[in-house]
Amino acid sequence: MCAGMRTFPRFSAAAVTEAEEVRDRPFVTAVSPRLSRLHRSRPDSAAVPPARDSIYGRCLKGITSARDLVGHLFQCPVSNAKKTQRADLSRSTSKARKLRNSRSERTEEQIQQQNTDARVRMTRLHQEEPEDTRDERNEVRRLEQRQSRRFTVNRRRTNDQQRQQVHRAFISDSFLRLAFQYEPDIEYYAHSKVAHRQRARCSLNEHNELLKIFKSHMHQLQSDNHAIVINPDKTPAGEHIRRFNAPVVDDVGIMVGDCTAAREIVIRRRNNNLQFIADTHRSYDALQYPLIFWKGQDGYCINIKQRDTVSGAETNKNVSSKDYYAYRLMIRRGLDNVILRCRELCQQFMVDMYAKIESERLRYLRYNQQSCARKSTFICETLSTTTPTSPKLVTMSFYHHLHRLVWLMENVLKNFPKDFTNDTVTNVDGYPIYRRRNPENGGQSFIKNIINTDIDIDNRWVVPYSPLLSKTYNAHINVEFCSSVESNTFAMNKNDEITLYQIGRYISSNEAAWRIFGFPIHERDPAVVQLAIHLENDIRKVNGQQYPTYKDACLALGLLEDDNQWECMLAEAALNCTAIQIRLLFAIVLTTCFPARAQILWENHKDSMTDDILHQHRIRCHDLTITFSDEMYNEALIAIEDLCIVIANLPLSNFGMNSPNRTASDLMNTEMNRELQYSTVEMAAIVARNVPLMNEEQRTIYDRIMLAVSAGQGGFFFLDAPGGTGKTFVISLILAEIRSNNGIALAVASSGIAATLLDGGRTAHSVFKLPLNIQNNPDAVCNIKKQSSMATVLKRCKLIIWDECTMAHKHSLEALNRTLKDIKTVTNYLAELCWSFQVISDKHFQSFHVQHTLMRSTLA
Ligand SMILES: Nc1ncnc2c1ncn2[C@@H]1O[C@H](COP(=O)(O)OP(=O)(O)OP(=O)(O)O)[C@@H](O)[C@H]1O
C-alpha cells in the first residue's frame, strides 16, 4: 500500500485496512489506495457489506444488495414499477356518439343558452344545499388540498435530500465510483452519470481483458486471505495534520501529500507479497478507471515512441505523459471522446493524470538534483569591498556547471580569528579546521597599520582561498573543502524546492485540464519581446522578398490584422445596400477602424460604391451602354473624402489612399451636365435639316457668328429684326451647331416666356445669379463663386445668347461683365466671347441704346 498523492475528501481514518476471509472465493486483490474501492461478495448473494466506519458505509446504509446499490447510486428504481391501469377513454359507445352529434349540431345561441342554464342550475343547487353540508364539503376539500400540498413538499424535499446525498457520494466521495463484484454472472456497475443516463450496464466480464486475466488465475489461488487496502488519509510524517485538511469546495480535486511515496496500484497476493503496478505501467489506467477503459485498453507508458509528422516513422524520442493525456482528452470534430462524457469521473481522471504528469516531471528533477548534490566543494566568496570586515550576502546559487556551490556570506569573517591549530583536521560537521600555527610554533605574524592603528595579524586571520579562482574571477574567493554528507545535506535539505512545491498542493480539475493542455499560466505585462537586429533593408524583407514599406512587411509577417473582415463586410453590403450607404460605411471604416490596406479595399469595391454615379450618367446621356470610368471613380472618391472630413476632419491621404482629383471633377457638375446633355447626333441632324432653309440674310448672320465662335475671337452682336422674321430660327440653329460639336452655348432670356422659346433656355437671373435689387446696386456682381460649377460652365462657354436683353437693367449686364472678368481673369471678357443680343421690339429701344453704349465702352 502506498499513498503518494492523497485525494480528498478523505475517508475515515479507521478505513485503513479491511481484511476478511471468504472461504469460497479465494481471490486476493487490492486497488488503488485513493481512487478505487473494490467489494466482493459471496456467490450465493449479491450483498455488498458497507465499509465499517466510513463515509462509504454511511452512504450505503440500508443497502443490502448490489441491485439496491445501483438503484441508490443512480437514483432510479431497480424494479419495474407496475403500469398504471388507465381508464378506457375511447368514447365509441352509441350514447357518446349520439351526444357528440347533438353537440356538434348546436348553434351558438343554443350553446350560450345551455351554458347559462347550467350556471343557473348549479347556483340554485348550491343555494338549496344545507349550510352544514356545504361547509363540510369545503372543509374536506381544504384538507385534501393541504394534504396533497404537504405530500408534494415532502416528496420534493425527500428527492432533494436523496439527490444531494447521491451527489455527495459521487462528488465528495469521488473515489467511490466503482462497485463491482468478482462474480462470473454479475455485471459491474458504476456511478458514472454516463452509465446512469444510458442505463447501460457495462459487461466488463465479457470485454475487460484485465478482468479475464484475473479470473483465469483465480483457480490457482491457494489461500482465502486477501486485503483491501485504502489509505487516502495518510499525512506526511512531521507535517501538521490540519495543513492537509480537505478543501470544502464542491469540486473534484487532488491534494498532494507525501511526495516521497509513489502513486501505485498495489496488489497483495495470497502469500502477502505485494505487487506494485506503477502509475507509468500501461495497465494502470485500465485498472484505475475500468469504466473509461472498459476493455482494459493500454494507457500511458514511457515507451511510446514519437512519430515523424511527415513520414509517420517512429523516432527515438518518447511521448511524454503530458502529451499523451492531452491527446486523449482533446476534442476532435466528428469523433466521440468517451472520457469527456464521464463528467465527474472525467474530472477525476484529469486530476489523477495530471498528478501522474507532475510526479513524472518532479521525479526527473529530483534525480538530477541528487546528482548535483553529490558535489562536495564549497566555495565561499566574499565581495571585494573596501571594508573587508563587512562583506555582504549577495546570493546563493549553483555556480555554472562546475557544480560548485558559491555561497556569498553576509559576514564570512564573523568567526574570525580562528583558533591556533597545529594540524589540519576535519570537524564533526564535515568542515575542515585548517592548520594555523602561532608565532611561537613557527607561524607567521606581522603588523599592519589600519586607520592609524597598528594591528598585529597572525595566522588566525588567514582566510583559505584559491589563487586560481581569485585571479580568474577577480574577486576574493574563499575556499573550504567539505567532504561529509552532512555538509551537503545541510545545503540541500533546506532548499528542497521539490518538496516545498509539491507537498500540500491542491490541484483542481480546472487546473489539471489547463496544465495538461499546456495553456499559458501567466501573462507578462508589459509584453517584453526580443527583437531581432536587422540591417535597414532587411526589416522590409520577408521570405526573400523585399516589400516597399515596413507596413507591407509587417502584413506579410502576419503582425498586422488583415482586412479580411472589411472585405467581407463591404462585399455583403454590396448585395443589399445602395452606393451611398456603402460609401458611408467605407468612410466609417476608414476613419474609425483604420484598415491596413485601404487603397486595396477601395480598388476591390469601388464599383459598388460608384454604382449610383454610373446610373445617373447613363440616364443623363440616354445611353445604357456606358460603363465605369475614372471620372466616375473620382466622383465617388470625392464623396467619400467629404464624408471622412465630416466624420474625422481628415482627407483620404491620411488613411493611405490616393486623393481624388477635385479640379477634374465635372462629372457631377449639374450645371455642366445640363449644358452637355444634348445629343450631338440630334443637334447635327437639326443643323443639317434647317441650314439649307435659311434665307440669305439669315445665312449671313449665321455665318458671321459661327465664324467668330470658331475663331475664338470673341464679339458682341446685336440682332434686331421685326417679329416673325426668323430670329429665333437662326438662334436655334446657332445653338444646335455649337452643341452638335459638344460645345456649350448658354441660352438665357430676360423673361421666362422668352426663355421657353429657346432650346435649353433659362432666365438670366437663374443662370447668372443676378442680384434682385440690381437697380440700386451699380457695383453688383453675380453670385457665382470662382470655384463653383457655374463658373466652370462659363469658362467653357462659347456663346451666350441673351434674348430680350434690352428688358434687363444695365446693372445686370455690368454685373455679368464683372463676374466674367473675375472668372476668366481677363480685363475685357466681352472681347473674348461672342455675344448675341436680340431685341425683340421697338419699345425696348431705349434699353438697347443703353446696352449699346455699354458695349461700346467695354470694347473700347
Ligand atoms: N428660313 C426659314 N425657312 C422656313 N421657315 C422659317 C424660316 N425662317 C423662319 N421660319 C419660320 O417662321 C416662323 C417665325 O419665325 P421666328 O419665330 O423665328 O420669327 P421671330 O423673328 O423669332 O418672331 P418673334 O419676333 O415674334 O419671336 C417660325 O415658324 C419659323 O419656323
Residue 495 pLDDT: 64
Residue nearest to atom 7 of ligand 1 (CA): 726
- Mean pLDDT value across the chain: 70
Mutate which of 727, 729, 735, 756 for ligand 1 pocket (most atoms within 8 A of beta carbon): 729
Q: How far apart are CA 28 and CA 24, in angstroms?
A: 12
DSSP code at position 773: T
Atom of ligand 1 nearest to the CA of 732: 18
Q: How many CA atoms lie within 13 A of 107 on its CB side?
A: 2
Distance in Å, CA 701 to ligand 1 centroid: 14
For residue 860, CA distances in Å to 117, 207, 600, 732, 830 come to 114, 120, 58, 30, 11
- Residue 749 pLDDT greater than 70, yes or no: yes
List, in sequence order, every residue forming a beta bridge with 268; answer none if it has no partner.
274
Residue nearest to atom 23 of ligand 1 (CA): 724
Name the percent of the chain in helix, strand, coil, to the closest 5. Answer: 45, 15, 40
The one-letter amino acid at 657: M
Distance in Å, CA 725 to ligand 1 centroid: 5
Please report the DSSP string for 27-42 in residue order. Answer: ------TTT-------
3-class state of residue 228 by DSSP: strand
**Residue linked to cell 556569498:** 408
3-class state of residue 54 by DSSP: coil
Of 581 and 198, more confident: 581
Region of residue 446 (left: phi > 0; alpha: psi -120 to 50; beta: else): beta
Residue 205 pLDDT: 65
Q: How far apart are CA 598 and CA 692, in angstroms?
A: 59
Asked if 24 and 42 count as a contact pair (C-beta separation under 8 A), the reply is yes
Q: How far apart are CA 209 and CA 285, in angstroms?
A: 13
Atom of ligand 1 nearest to the CA of 726: 18
- Residue 381 pLDDT greater than 50, yes or no: no
Confidence of residue 425 (pLDDT cuts 50, 70, 90): confident
Region of residue 130 (left: phi > 0; alpha: psi -120 to 50; beta: else): beta
DSSP E strand boundaries for 286-403:
305-307, 314-318, 377-382, 396-399
Tell me the Cα Rg of the chain. Answer: 53
Q: How far apart are CA 466 and CA 94, in angstroms?
A: 121
Question: Quick one: three-class SS letters along 689-750?
Answer: HHHHHCCHHHHHHHHHHHHHHHHCCCEEEEEECCCCCCHHHHHHHHHHHHHHCCCEEEEEEC
Q: How many CA atoms lie within 13 A of 382 on its CB side?
A: 21
Give the count of beta carbons closer than 10 Å to the beta carbon of residue 254.
26
Confidence of residue 578 (pLDDT cuts 50, 70, 90): very high
Locate 338 and state its grid cell.
468517451
Question: Quick one: three-class SS letters along 411-456?
Answer: CCCCCCCCCCECCCEECCCCCEECCECCHHHCCCEEEEECCCCEEE
Asked if 247 and 6 count as a contact pair (C-beta separation under 8 A), the reply is no
Of 669 and 616, more confident: 616
Q: How far apart are CA 610 and CA 578, in angstroms?
A: 10
User: Can you tell me the mean pLDDT for 590-613?
Assistant: 90
The one-letter amino acid at 340: L
| Range of weakest confidence among 74-78, 208-212, 287-291, 541-545 | 74-78
Distance in Å, CA 637 to ligand 1 centroid: 48
User: Can you tell me the mean pLDDT for 112-118?
Assistant: 91
Residue nearest to atom 9 of ligand 1 (CA): 726
Ligand 1 site residues, Cβ closer than 6 angstroms = 693-695, 698, 721, 723-729, 840
Residue nearest to atom 3 of ligand 1 (CA): 693
* Residue among 806, 814, 803 nearest 846 (CA): 806
**Residue linked to cell 509587417:** 554
Q: Domains (ranges, CATH) in the chain? A: 533-557 (no CATH), 564-668 (no CATH), 673-859 (3.40.50)
Distance in Å, CA 672 to ligand 1 centroid: 29
List, in sequence order, every residue forming a beta bridge with 458; answer none if it has no partner.
445
Q: How many CA atoms lie within 13 A of 106 on its CB side?
A: 14
3-class state of residue 395 by DSSP: coil
- Which helix or strand (DSSP H or E) is residue 96 part of? helix 94-104
Distance in Å, CA 723 to ligand 1 centroid: 8
Give tens-digit pLDDT for 29-74: 333 333 333 333 333 333 333 333 333 333 334 444 444 444 444 4
Q: How far apart are CA 737 and CA 731, in angstroms?
A: 10
The one-letter amino acid at 689: R
The one-letter amino acid at 662: R
3-class state of residue 202 by DSSP: strand
Q: What percent of the chain has pLDDT over 90?
A: 10
- Residue 645 pLDDT greater than 80, yes or no: yes
- Chain centroid to CA 850: 81
Residue 391 pLDDT: 32
Distance in Å, CA 691 to ligand 1 centroid: 13
Q: How far apart are CA 596 and CA 600, in angstroms?
A: 9
312 phi and psi angles, rounded to 5 deg: 80, 5
List, in sequence order, every residue forming a beta bridge with 34; answer none if it has no partner.
none
The H helix count followed by the E strand count for the chain is 31, 26
Locate 235 and state its grid cell.
499525512
Distance in Å, CA 694 to ligand 1 centroid: 10
Please report the DSSP string for 572-636 in residue order. Answer: HHHHHS-HHHHHHHHHHIIIII--TTHHHHHHHHHHHHSHHHHHHHHHHHT-TT----HHHHHHH
* Residue among 180, 175, 217 nearest 294 (CA): 180
Distance in Å, CA 801 to ligand 1 centroid: 17
Strand bridging mode 476-481 / 454-458: unpaired
- Residue 468 pLDDT greater than 90, yes or no: no
Atom of ligand 1 nearest to the CA of 730: 18
Of 502 and 440, more confident: 440
Residue 198 pLDDT: 39
Q: What percent of the chain has pLDDT over 70?
A: 63
* Residue among 191, 188, 160 nearest 56 (CA): 191
Asked if 181 and 66 count as a contact pair (C-beta separation under 8 A), the reply is yes
Give tens-digit pLDDT for 227-258: 434 344 445 555 565 555 555 555 566 655 55
Residue 557 pLDDT: 83
Sequence-distant (6+) residues with CB within 8 A of 736 are 683, 684, 686, 687, 690, 759
For residue 412, CA distances in Å to 395, 400, 451, 465, 572 come to 13, 22, 22, 12, 77
